[in-house]
Structure 1
Amino acid sequence: MRAEGPGTVEGPGLYVYAVVRAGTPLPRKSGGVGSPPAPLRAVGPGPVAAVVSATPAQLRARRRDLLAHQDLLTQLAASGPVLPMRFGMVAPDEDALRAQLAAAEAGHLAALDRVAGHIEMNVKALPAHDSLAALVAGDATVRRLREATRRRPGYEANVRLGEAVASALARRAGEAGRRALRDLAPMARATAGGPEVPGCALNVSFLVAQDDTDRFRATAERFAAAHRDHVDLRIAGPLPCYSFVEAGAGTDAGGWSAPAPVGGG
């Protein structure tokens, strides 16, 4: 299976959305990638199946197709556990896809069991850039540098002040993010760190039981409101469980290309 990037995909192949348990109902009215989107079908030699469609003649990472891919995964998750594939995953043909599914069957089943009844919530902690007054009041170094800059303004003084402000904002966001992680982790079955995001002090995904989704979000939003002078806490979800299936669906489990996290996002 090949993972295509944002360029054009041309030629034969099956566009793969996800791996599910055999018999999982497919959405009756669903979009999917391409314009118009090709019909969905399930391909599988046993207890697991891949949800696929024909690959469009031209496939680009346009907003419409990215959202369609994500929406289809969300619809599938309403019917059972899903191992989501990243946008642009293409199998060369049905025989190759069936062979990969058979070789990775044990890993897929274990991963499906792991995420069954769960969703992914992603939390990012960013500096609260609109809280300069609170920062000055609470940080002696920033306060001292600001007073020095007022007394003797100049380029170097402004640079030092700017660097101190940026450092203090990032530090406060990191501290608040770690407190949020301690508060939220007990409500999750597992956590997974996401990729580094420029300007982001913390990027963590949580594997949360579907029944606990509202409680998790409410707790995160209360924390965000109580610490808004320290951190801009951004909460995304429910999402397909991108961050918690790699161990069961990676290349070691029979050649399947691993899904890419989005926490992400």
Structure 2
Amino acid sequence: MAVYIYSITGEDHPLRLDDLKGVGDPPGRPRAISAGRLCAVVSDAPEDLRPRRRDLSAHQEVQDRLMTDGTVLPLRFGLTAPDDDAVRAALEERAEEYETRLRDLEGCAEYHLRVSQDEDALLREILEDSDEARELNEAIRSGEAGPGAPLALGELVAREVEARHGALAAGVVEALRPFSREESSSSPTGDDLLSISFLVERDKEELFLTAQLSLANQLGDDFSLRLRGPLPPYSFV
């Protein structure tokens, strides 16, 4: 029977699974498959697996329980294998890789940061700082600009936004990097200028959180810094 895979742990990880409910309806019962010095936490895979809210929640609850008790390699929602033997074979084949990564993640959690800037405030800033942009904007508003002026202004503003966002993102990362072990960037979506995950050691969490709060205060109300964590280290598996 197909199995759903939640996480990989070391053989000595406390596996308090009895009261947990897995994905599916009715919920599967999480259990462990062992191979050498590794374990995989799995349950029977439902035939109609989809990212329903209850299943996403069950997946996360298993990860949170395992993370509370020790280091895990959390797998993202939806990973399945044909049967127990296939899981065991994968653990054996990639044992060295998994064991190394478990050591790398020991005592760490993931914090995910998204940063955005108010668009109107950014535009005002560009018009204040750039003589060219300000003159083009004033000419357009007065009706004195040529037909190509709006396009030229748009292109100029876009270049300024890209440069300013790039510099700001780099500054945010540099400010928080000393308090993290690793970082993993993803493409920003929507209005965000930065989307990044930090791998933070437990004994540095307070320093990391203090630095993030100080950074938010320095940037001011025109910026939004949304931090989630501690999370299972999905971005670093």
Same fold (TM over 0.5): yes
Q: Distance in 1 between matches of 2:42 and 2:132?
A: 57
Query: Aligned residue for 1:258?
Result: none
1:74 deviates by: 2.2
Query: Aligned residue for 2:7?
Result: 18
SS at 1:175 equivalent: helix
Note the residue ranges of structure 2 that are not aligned, 5 or more in a row. Answer: none
Q: Distance in 2 between matches of 1:215 and 1:30?
A: 33
Q: Which amino acid aligns with 1:148?
A: A
Q: Assess, with a 3 A threshold, how the Cα gap between structure 1 residues 141 and 239 changes in structure 2: closer, same or farther.
A: farther
Q: Assess, with a 3 A threshold, how the Cα gap between structure 1 residues 218 and 93 changes in structure 2: closer, same or farther.
A: same
SS at 2:119 equivalent: coil
Which string of whole-angstrom CA distances, capped at 9 and with x for unpartnered residues, describes residues 136-156 of structure 1? 323333322221221127875
Query: Aligned residue for 1:108?
Result: 98
What is the aligned counterpart of 1:137 among 128, 139, 142?
128
Q: Which amino acid aligns with 2:2?
A: G
1:199 deviates by: 5.3
Q: Assess, with a 3 A threshold, how the Cα gap between structure 1 residues 68 and 225 changes in structure 2: closer, same or farther.
A: farther
Query: Aligned residue for 1:205?
Result: 197
Q: Assess, with a 3 A threshold, how the Cα gap between structure 1 residues 244 and 231 changes in structure 2: closer, same or farther.
A: same
Q: Is the 8 A contact 1:32 1:72 kept in 2?
A: yes
Q: Distance in 2 between matches of 1:97 and 1:173?
A: 44
Note the residue ranges of structure 1 that are not aligned, 5 or more in a row. Answer: 1-11, 246-265
TM-score (normalizing by structure 1): 0.77
Q: Which amino acid aligns with 1:181?
A: V
1:228 deviates by: 4.1
1:174 deviates by: 1.7
SS at 2:35 equivalent: coil
Q: Distance in 1 between matches of 2:181 and 2:54?
A: 32
Q: Is the 8 A contact 1:176 1:230 kept in 2?
A: no
After superposition, the CA RMSD in angstroms is: 2.5
SS at 1:39 equivalent: coil
Deviating more after overlay: 79-88 vs 222-231: 222-231
Q: Is the 8 A contact 2:21 2:30 kept in 1?
A: no
Q: Assess, with a 3 A threshold, how the Cα gap between structure 1 residues 33 and 144 changes in structure 2: closer, same or farther.
A: farther
Are residues 1:223 and 2:211 paired? no
Which string of whole-angstrom CA distances, capped at 9 and with x for unpartnered residues, describes residues 213-255 of structure 1? 233123123212322477543323222112222xxxxxxxxxx
What is the aligned counterpart of 2:85 among 65, 79, 95?
95
1:102 deviates by: 1.6
Deviating more after overlay: 230-239 vs 209-218: 230-239
Q: Assess, with a 3 A threshold, how the Cα gap between structure 1 residues 140 and 240 changes in structure 2: closer, same or farther.
A: farther
Q: Assess, with a 3 A threshold, how the Cα gap between structure 1 residues 219 and 141 changes in structure 2: closer, same or farther.
A: farther
